[in-house]
């Protein structure tokens, strides 16, 4: 069977897929020690090397070919952070990412140019955005090789593939390019994709059924006793302040669409990220005790199975965060397997019919840290720094992309003098607008005027001046609750409650200001918040 060299190997998902197809993994490299340790443990017959791919790509010929063995297949997944949409909204510096890709391509080119080269196939994986930064072909001289000719990079099989159509329980899109035959999807319709629920039901709940034999959700001819499955029997509960923040980001992010909270387990998982977060839009949060509104993070084993790793695959790291990153940065093994199988079929090679368990060569017994049965206490909210920024709108009040937003503005950075600003925002990007209308009650219904005046009068007695309002914001939510204080979040929530009680959100009336017509409930929310911030800022109310 063909030999494989894996560059930027990470935790070994790319290698694992080829191993499952019967290929022989002989070489792998990564510059992150947990990745090297993980790959080395799960692929003990390979030479796994801790080093820098750019440095290796520039070694003299004798050193280069001595270190990097000749193989029929080269695979690689250069770090994708700079190309990801989640990094500065896709505007991060791409220069290092491009250097890493070109270093990988240089290695491929040098192996192809070697006399009597045996290299037949090579594959590069990255996020979809990378397609704009990879050329169709490179001259060898562009890659720093003194040789005429070009390396073709984009072939008919080079495209974005979604792992969910290859038997992975994750809606994970990635771009693959290079010289390889196009893999054939196992699934063609969304209704047939594997859901998170299917994985979780097979794996069973953490800390339960310890003596039950668990059939691998991805490789059904393999099973393990539940208690022997690593990194699964523990709970990381999400603190209330964390899940409330995550819920806001997912379901009330201003101009962005709603996301499920908690996760919709009836579908394939959203893309597993490298960072294990509990309070962001990208957080993956599962129900824990639903009737008590308690939630948890997935275990490392759960996300590993979602990514199609075998049950016995081990992730070597000192913490759950490192293990999570090893999984999140991976090429899902089943996606990799599909490419390996396409190569095997193209060349008439046979692939194994059954799963072969991993044989660990554990010469350092204390190296592997198992998260099972560890206690992870709830995170505690920390006070914010005194100059923390605030920017949020009346919660869950968006009408035709209009929303009423409150923010703090520093008038004097030295003395931290603060003013609270209210604006009506609409849309996003180039079409985004911000408006600060005058307070005009003439077009407001008399009954609503009376209700507004009454509510504003009540709230004014509870609100401090601007700088103290900032101090309340910097406290923890629990501290504000215990002291019965109203900070920005509480104020916005009170206004939303007023609107729900006194207004019809389906009211089609609009308020004309200059040439723009604001939805009636939006304008009411603006007037209330404007009046109250003028009080907070010690300005005279009209």
**Tokens in use for 166?**
């290859």
Query: How far apart, in whole angstroms, are the C-alpha atoms of residue 80 and residue 78?
Result: 6
| Element counts in the chain: helices (H) and strands (E) | 15, 20
Query: How far apart, in whole angstroms, are the C-alpha atoms of residue 279 and residue 248?
Result: 9
Active site residue 9: no
SS3 of 4, please? strand
CB burial of residue 474 (10 Å; 0-12, 13-18, 19+): middle
Asked whether 230 and 299 are in contact (CB, 8 A), the reply is no
Secondary structure in 3-state letters for 317-366? CCCHHHHHHHHHCCCCHHHHHHHHHHHHHHCCCCCCCCCCCCCCCCCCCC
Closest CA to 339 of 127, 58, 76: 76
Which one from 9, 80, 177, 279 is the annotated catalytic residue? 80
Closest CA to 160 of 224, 103, 83, 69: 83
Concatenating the DSSP letter of every residue in 484-524 gives T---HHHHHHHHHHHHHHH--TT---EEEETTEEEEHHHHH
Closest CA to 346 of 124, 152, 72: 72
Concatenating the DSSP letter of every residue in 420-477 gives EEEEEEES-GGG-EEE-PPP--TTS-HHHHHHHHHHHHHHHTT---HHHHHHHHHS-H
**What are the φ/ψ torsions at residue 370 (nearest 5 degrees)?**
-95, 130
Asked whether 362 and 70 are in contact (CB, 8 A), the reply is no
Closest CA to 227 of 203, 209, 246, 251: 209
Query: How far apart, in whole angstroms, are the C-alpha atoms of residue 235 and residue 297?
Result: 8
Query: How far apart, in whole angstroms, are the C-alpha atoms of residue 323 and residue 493?
Result: 38
Closest CA to 105 of 179, 163, 35: 179
> At a CB cut-off of 8 Å and minimum separation 6, what does 156 contact?
182
Query: How far apart, in whole angstroms, are the C-alpha atoms of residue 87 and residue 106?
Result: 26
Closest CA to 185 of 55, 337, 358, 395: 337
Pairing status of strand 73-76 against strand 121-126: parallel
Catalytic residue numbers? 80
């Amino acid at each position: 069977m063909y030999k494989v060299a894996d560059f930027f190997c990470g935790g070994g998902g790319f290698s694992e897929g080829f191993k499952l197809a019967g290929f022989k993994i002989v070489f792998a490299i990564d510059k992150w020690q947990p990745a090297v340790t993980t790959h080395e443990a799960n692929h003990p017959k390979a030479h796994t090397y801790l080093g820098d791919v750019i440095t290796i790509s520039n070694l003299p010929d004798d050193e280069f070919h001595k270190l990097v063995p000749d193989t029929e297949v080269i695979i690689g997944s250069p770090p994708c952070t700079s190309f990801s949409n989640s990094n500065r909204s896709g505007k991060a510096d791409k220069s290092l990412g491009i250097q890493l890709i070109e270093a990988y391509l240089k290695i491929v080119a040098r192996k192809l140019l070697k006399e009597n080269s045996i290299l037949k196939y090579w594959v590069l994986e990255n996020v979809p955005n990378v397609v704009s930064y990879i050329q169709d072909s490179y001259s060898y001289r562009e890659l720093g090789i003194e040789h005429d000719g070009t390396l073709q990079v984009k072939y008919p099989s080079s495209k974005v593939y979604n792992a969910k159509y290859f038997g992975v329980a994750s809606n994970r899109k990635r771009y693959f390019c290079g010289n390889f035959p196009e893999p054939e999807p196992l699934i063609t319709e969304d209704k047939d994709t594997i859901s998170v629920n299917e994985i979780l039901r097979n794996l069973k709940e953490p800390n339960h059924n310890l003596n039950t034999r668990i059939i691998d959700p991805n490789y059904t001819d393999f099973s393990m006793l539940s208690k022997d499955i690593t990194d699964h029997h523990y709970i990381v509960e999400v603190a209330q302040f964390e899940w409330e923040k995550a819920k806001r980001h997912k379901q009330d992010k201003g101009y962005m669409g709603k996301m499920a909270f908690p996760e919709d387990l009836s579908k394939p998982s959203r893309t597993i990220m490298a960072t294990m977060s509990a309070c962001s839009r990208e957080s993956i949060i599962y129900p824990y005790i639903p009737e008590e509104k308690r939630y948890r993070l997935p275990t490392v084993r759960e996300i590993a199975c979602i990514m199609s790793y075998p049950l016995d695959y081990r992730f070597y790291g000192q913490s759950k965060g490192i293990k999570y990153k090893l999984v999140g940065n991976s090429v899902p093994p089943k996606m990799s397997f599909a490419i390996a199988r396409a190569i095997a079929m193209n060349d008439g090679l046979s692939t194994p019919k059954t799963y072969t368990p991993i044989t660990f060569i554990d010469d350092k017994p204390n190296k592997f840290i198992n998260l099972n049965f560890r206690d992870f206490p709830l995170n505690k909210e920390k006070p914010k720094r005194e100059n923390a920024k605030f920017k949020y709108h009346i919660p869950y009040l968006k009408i035709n992309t209009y929303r009423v937003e409150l923010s703090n503005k520093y008038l004097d950075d030295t003395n931290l003098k603060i003013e609270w600003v209210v604006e009506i925002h609409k849309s996003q990007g180039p079409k985004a607008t911000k408006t600060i209308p005058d307070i005009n009650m003439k077009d407001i219904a008399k009954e609503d005027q009376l209700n507004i005046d009454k509510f504003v009068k009540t709230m004014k007695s509870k609100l401090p001046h601007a700088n103290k309002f900032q101090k309340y914001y910097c406290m923890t939510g629990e501290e504000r609750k215990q002291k019965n204080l109203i900070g920005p979040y509480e104020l916005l929530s009170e206004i939303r409650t007023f609107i729900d009680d006194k207004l019809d959100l389906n009211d089609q009336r609009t308020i004309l200001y200059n040439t723009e017509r604001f939805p009636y409930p939006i304008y009411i929310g603006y007037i209330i918040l404007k009046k109250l911030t003028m009080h907070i800022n010690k300005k005279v109310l009209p």
